[in-house]
């Protein structure tokens, strides 16, 4: 998870914030409230930007560092929204053996972001995943629902250029 | 308290201890030291580091003795081959992720990790990682973090979250990427850190240290154009000796003065003197509010950690907080006005160094609202006790050989009231000594107020004075401060006068004080011993009430005018402000 604030501006609506406040009110004062509230927050906003984590911290009266500690610990939480094109590089065993790590770094270099992050224009978000069930095609990268198999790092640039 | 006693055997020696005692404590009472790393009694009891493991007969695996309670008939072995092997491997793995620049590390000879490696006879690090670059985070004015030396014991996190309830740091990410940092890995100067430095004194390694300002002081001392003046805070005289291996609670005032003189300071004054001025101003402010229906409770403003906490977390308290500058700032203000005038020195040429038990003072000296009408900042550099200790060592001064020196008189005479500022409740007692005498008349007021003494987190007392009851409270440690604030806000607690100190026990336990290893902190009443030395000094002082101080009387007569008057306000008071808690704009 990238250790930074999302580069995409926060666009939460008053309705979303109102829903979050209701969830916070339901859980406030209960032990272990942070997890369910963050899960609900991610459902409402799609991700957990700093603005939302501050609302959770203030609402539950716990330090922001504690909220962020939980949000950054679990892979299920994301600090960034998903891009128009969601890139997922498989790091499962077969893909990894076939060189997925260099594939991933090629994407990172091309877009200038690390897994978990999004490009400032909101176009691409990058994640790694564990096995998409296409081991015969290893190494595999997915962009939204498009599957690219048997890739080499030099193919990454031209493929990404096709997504406008 | 559970009075039930439990009998067990530790290394075949019978021991009887109260139920609820941990194996580690029971072993200690039987004369066995169990090494530990993450354990800080009452603060960090998480059994995470596994250094303190012991063998318990019948237990499935080794147990963490720091959190494992004793039980009847238990048989514990603290030094078996299995235990030694486990501890050694654990320590080796911790060391594999620790940047070992021990020779040049600030904690060099007093690092708990290095001590453990030595105690366990680790003569080679099998899994040494030579590729760890420093990870310096030095955004804050008061401390520098280097996570390449962090062993993830979480002592800093526990003290920040539990003792201080500020919680600006925590473990971020997970697995190998786990590291201690602020939310969103913001720099420390971007979050609501109060600069108390309790994390530094909790850290077992060199991952946390105060910003070292000794170079700037040495440069000023070497500059012939600078007139360098120094003043130590009340608590420094009872803690500085620890830097040189003296017992906790040694009063080294005379040697400290000689050391400062031999370091080359042009004048060695005493911040205690300024503390007496603080009482004159704060006492006057309290009487004024009491008699004119002003905002009560009056809350003290001596602790810059508390002030920063209040500005960020409790700005609704702003009207109640005294407008007095802290003793450090009053000291600098008097040096650069009164002393400059008397000595005929341009205040611009005076370089004021304070020696403080505190890291927040490094932040306070940079606060713009402290600036004097003559354009000068009152204090140029604020050193911690530890930094002064290092300067003394580096200068080759053999501390225990030093003769007892005397402060320079112009701002170097003080009272017992000022001395006790260094302990929680001391400012309150000092204020009462003056205020109660003002209300009851000379000779009618008691001198000592034992109700506000002691190391409890919250102390309350009320005093029947002519025509009114005065209810007071002294709380230390921000966790306790918060409890009192909640009570005041909800109307459950009613006070006229409150003393708040950010650090538990007050300045004697400040974040700038000598670092004692966890095994000392866990089993010694560090705060109590240091405070006792202050109260002992107070009892022997010729003057024990701030208004009896002849210097205080002279300065008001010749220079400041009335306490709380116009000139005193210009020089010795300031305005505190609301500050942002979160910074989301950057």
Kindly calculate the radius of gyration of chain B based on its CA atoms and give it in whole angstroms.
25
Residue B123 confidence (pLDDT): 87
Pair A90, A141 in one domain: yes
Whose tokens are 């109590």? That residue is B528
Question: A93 and A67: one domain?
Answer: no
Of A48, A73, A98, which residue is a domain's last?
A73
Domain match, A56 and A103 both: no
Residue B585: predicted pLDDT:
53
**Would B139 be classed as within a structural domain?**
yes
Helices (H) and strands (E) in chain B, counts: 20, 18
Shared domain check, B189 and B238: no
The interaxial angle of helices B327-334 and B271-292, nearest 10 deg, is: 110
Could you tell me if residue A6 is inside a domain?
no
- The one catalytic residue in B105, B150, B199, B507 is B507
Q: Are residues B538 and B390 in the same domain?
A: yes
List the catalytic residue out of B364, B387, B437, B548. Answer: B364
B403 domain residue, yes or no? yes
Q: What is the pLDDT of residue B316?
A: 96
Please check whether residues B62 and B204 belong to one and the same domain: no
Least confident of A14-23, A36-45, B124-133, B546-555: B124-133
Task: Kindly report the CATH number assigned to the domain that includes residue B333.
Answer: 3.40.50.1780
Note whether residue B103 is domain-resident.
yes
- Whether B78 and B142 share a structural domain: no
**How far are the Cα atoms of B14, B84, B478 from residue B35, in angstroms, in the given order?**
21, 11, 30
Last residue in a domain, options A32, A47, A73: A73
Please tell me whether residues A67 and A106 are part of one structural domain: no
Q: Please check whether residue B586 lies inside any domain of the structure.
A: no
Q: Which of B211, B234, B259 is the last residue of a domain?
A: B211
For the packed helices B253-263 and B385-394, what is the interaxial angle rounded to 10 degrees?
A: 60
- Per the annotation, the verdict on B507 as an active-site residue is yes
DSSP A109-142: HHHT--TT-B-TTSSEEEEEES--S-GGG-S-EE
Q: What is the residue range of A152's domain?
A: 85-161
Do B199 and B219 fall within a single domain?
no
A85-106 per-residue burial string, b: 16 or more CB within 10 A, e: under 16: bebbbbbbebbbebebeebbeb
Last residue of a domain, one of B211, B236, B270: B211
What is the reported pLDDT for B129?
Answer: 81
Tell whether B145 and B247 lie within a shared domain. no
The pLDDT assigned to B397 comes to 98
Using 50, 70 and 90 to split pLDDT, how confident is the model at A5? low
Whether residues A44 and A109 share a domain: the answer is no
Please indicate, yes or no, if residue A37 is contained in any of the structural domains: yes
pLDDT computed for residue B125 by the predictor: 85
Q: Is A8 part of a structural domain of the chain?
A: no
Domain boundary among A73, A94, A121: A73
Note the pLDDT of residue B586. Answer: 45
Same domain, B386 and B338: yes
Residues B197 and B313 in one domain: no
Position of tokens 């550099």? B381
Ramachandran bin of A30, using left for φ above 0, alpha for ψ from -120 to 50, beta for the remaining angles: beta
Of the candidates A109, A147, A104, the one whose C-alpha atom is nearest the C-alpha of residue A127 is A104
- Cβ-contact B424, B476 below 8 angstroms: yes
Q: Under DSSP, is residue B164 helix (H, G, I), strand (E, B) or coil?
A: coil
- If asked whether residues B191 and B222 sit together in one domain, one would say no
Give the total residue count for chain B: 586
pLDDT band at A1 (very low <50, low <70, confident <90, very high): very low
CA B454 from chain centre, in angstroms, equals 16
Task: Tell me: do A32 and A55 sit in the same domain.
Answer: yes
What is the CATH number for A146?
Answer: 3.40.30.10
Cβ distance of A1 and B173 shorter than 8 Å: yes
Whether A121 and A59 map to the same domain: the answer is: no
- pLDDT tier, A4 (very low <50, low <70, confident <90, very high otherwise): low
Same-domain check for residues A29 and A92: no
Question: CA nearest B179 in A: which residue?
Answer: A69
For B460, other C-beta atoms within 10 Å of its C-beta total: 16
- Pick among B184, B313, B582 to test the A interface (most A CBs inside 10 A): B184
Where in the sequence is the domain holding B380, given as residue range(s)? 215-572
* Whether residues A68 and A90 fall in one domain: no
Q: Tokens at residue B117, please?
A: 């490696």
With respect to residue B179, please indicate whether it lies within any of the assigned structural domains.
yes
Residues A103-123, mean pLDDT to the nearest whole number: 93
Q: Is B361 a catalytic residue?
A: yes
For residues B61 and B200, membership in a common domain is answered with no
How many of the other CB atoms lie within 10 Å of CB of B556?
Answer: 18
Rounded distance between C-alpha atoms, residue B57 and residue B521, angstroms: 30
Same domain, B384 and B532: yes
Report the number of distinct structural domains present in chain B: 3
Q: Which of A1, A64, A115 is the best mutation test for B, with the most CBs of B within 10 A?
A: A64
CA distance B483 to B294: 24
Question: For each successive 10 residues of chain B (586 residues), what is the average pLDDT?
Answer: 85 97 96 97 96 97 97 97 97 94 92 96 86 93 97 98 97 94 94 97 97 98 98 98 97 98 98 98 96 95 97 96 98 98 98 98 97 98 98 98 97 98 98 94 90 97 91 98 97 97 98 96 96 98 97 98 96 95 66
Asked if the structure places residue B274 within a domain, the reply is yes
Do B402 and B506 fall into the same domain?
yes
Q: What is the ipTM of this complex?
A: 0.91
Q: Which residues in chain A are closer than 8 Å to B184, comparing Cβ atoms?
A: 3-5, 50, 53, 68, 79
Q: β-pairing, A146-148 with B170-172? A: unpaired
Question: Is residue A64 situated within a structural domain?
Answer: yes
Q: Are residues B173 and A62, on separate chains, in Cβ contact within 8 Å? A: no
The number of distinct structural domains making up chain A is: 2
Cα B466 to Cα B43, B286, B297, B441, B525, distances in angstroms = 43, 16, 19, 10, 39
B479 CA to chain A: closest CA distance, Å?
13
Q: Which structure tokens are listed for B102?
A: 């021990």
Domain contains A3:
no
Q: Domain for residue B577, yes or no? A: no
Does any domain span residue B582?
no
């Amino acid at each position: 998870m990238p250790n930074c604030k999302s580069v995409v501006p926060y666009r939460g609506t008053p309705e979303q914030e109102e829903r979050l406040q209701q969830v916070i009110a339901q859980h406030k004062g209960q032990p272990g409230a942070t997890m369910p509230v963050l899960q609900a927050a991610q459902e409402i906003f799609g991700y957990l930007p700093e603005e939302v984590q501050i609302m959770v911290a203030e609402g539950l009266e716990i330090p922001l560092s504690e909220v962020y500690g939980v949000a950054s610990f679990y892979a299920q939480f994301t600090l960034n929204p998903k891009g128009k094109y969601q890139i997922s590089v498989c790091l499962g065993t077969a893909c990894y053996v076939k060189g997925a790590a260099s594939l991933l770094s090629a994407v990172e270099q091309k877009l200038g972001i690390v897994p978990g992050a999004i490009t400032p224009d909101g176009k691409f978000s990058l994640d790694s995943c564990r096995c998409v069930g296409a081991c015969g095609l290893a190494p595999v990268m997915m962009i939204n629902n498009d599957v690219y198999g048997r890739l080499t790092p030099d193919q990454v640039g031209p493929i990404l250029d096709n997504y406008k | 308290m559970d009075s039930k006693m439990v009998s067990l055997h530790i290394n075949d020696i019978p021991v009887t201890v109260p139920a609820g005692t941990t194996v580690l404590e029971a072993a200690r009472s039987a004369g066995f030291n169990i090494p530990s790393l993450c354990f800080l009694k009452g603060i960090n009891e998480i059994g995470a580091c596994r250094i303190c493991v012991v063998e318990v007969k019948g237990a499935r695996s080794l147990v963490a003795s720091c959190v494992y309670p004793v039980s009847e008939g238990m048989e514990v072995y603290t030094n078996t081959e299995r235990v030694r092997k486990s501890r050694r491997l654990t320590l080796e793995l911790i060391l594999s992720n620790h940047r070992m620049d021990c020779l040049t590390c600030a904690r060099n000879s007093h690092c708990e990790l290095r001590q453990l490696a030595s105690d366990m006879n680790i003569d080679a690090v099998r899994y040494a990682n030579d590729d760890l670059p420093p990870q310096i985070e030095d955004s804050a004015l008061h401390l520098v973090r280097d996570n390449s030396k962090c062993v993830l014991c979480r002592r800093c996190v526990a003290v920040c979250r539990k003792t201080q309830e500020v919680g600006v740091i925590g473990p971020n990410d997970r697995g190998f990427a786990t590291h201690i940092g602020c939310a969103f890995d913001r720099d420390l100067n971007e979050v609501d850190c109060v600069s108390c430095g309790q994390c530094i004194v909790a850290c077992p390694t060199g991952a946390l240290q105060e910003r070292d300002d000794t170079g700037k002081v040495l440069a000023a001392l070497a500059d012939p154009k600078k007139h360098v003046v120094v003043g130590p805070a009340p608590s420094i005289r009872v803690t500085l000796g620890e830097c040189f291996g003296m017992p906790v609670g040694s009063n080294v005032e005379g040697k400290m003065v000689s050391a400062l003189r031999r370091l080359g300071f042009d004048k060695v004054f005493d911040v205690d003197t300024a503390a007496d001025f603080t009482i004159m101003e704060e006492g006057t402010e309290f009487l004024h509010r009491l008699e004119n229906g002003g905002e009560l409770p009056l809350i003290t403003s001596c602790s810059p950690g508390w002030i920063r906490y209040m500005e960020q977390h409790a700005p609704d308290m702003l009207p109640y907080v005294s407008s007095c500058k802290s003793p450090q700032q009053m000291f600098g203000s008097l040096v650069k006005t009164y002393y400059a005038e008397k000595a005929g020195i341009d205040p611009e040429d005076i370089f004021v160094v304070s020696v403080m038990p505190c890291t927040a003072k490094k932040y306070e000296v940079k606060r713009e609202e402290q600036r004097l009408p003559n354009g000068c900042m009152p204090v140029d550099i604020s050193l911690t006790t530890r930094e002064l200790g290092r300067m003394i060592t580096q200068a080759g001064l053999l501390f225990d050989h030093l003769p007892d020196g005397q402060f320079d008189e112009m701002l170097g005479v003080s009272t017992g009231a000022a001395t006790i500022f260094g302990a929680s409740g001391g400012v309150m007692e000092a204020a009462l000594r003056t205020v109660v005498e003002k209300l009851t008349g000379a000779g009618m007021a008691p001198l000592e107020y034992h109700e506000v003494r002691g190391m409890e987190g919250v102390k309350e007392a009320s005093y029947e004075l002519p025509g009114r009851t005065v209810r007071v409270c002294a709380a230390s440690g921000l966790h306790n401060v918060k409890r009192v604030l909640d009570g005041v806000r909800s109307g459950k607690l009613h006070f006229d006068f409150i003393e708040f100190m950010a650090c538990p026990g007050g300045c004697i336990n400040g974040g700038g004080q000598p670092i004692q290893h966890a095994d000392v902190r866990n089993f010694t009443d560090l705060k109590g011993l240091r405070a006792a030395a202050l109260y002992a000094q107070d009892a022997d002082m010729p003057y024990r009430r701030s208004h009896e101080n002849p210097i205080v009387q002279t300065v008001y007569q010749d220079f400041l005018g009335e306490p709380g008057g116009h000139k005193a306000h210009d020089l010795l008071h300031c305005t505190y402000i609301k500050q942002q808690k979160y910074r989301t704009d950057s």
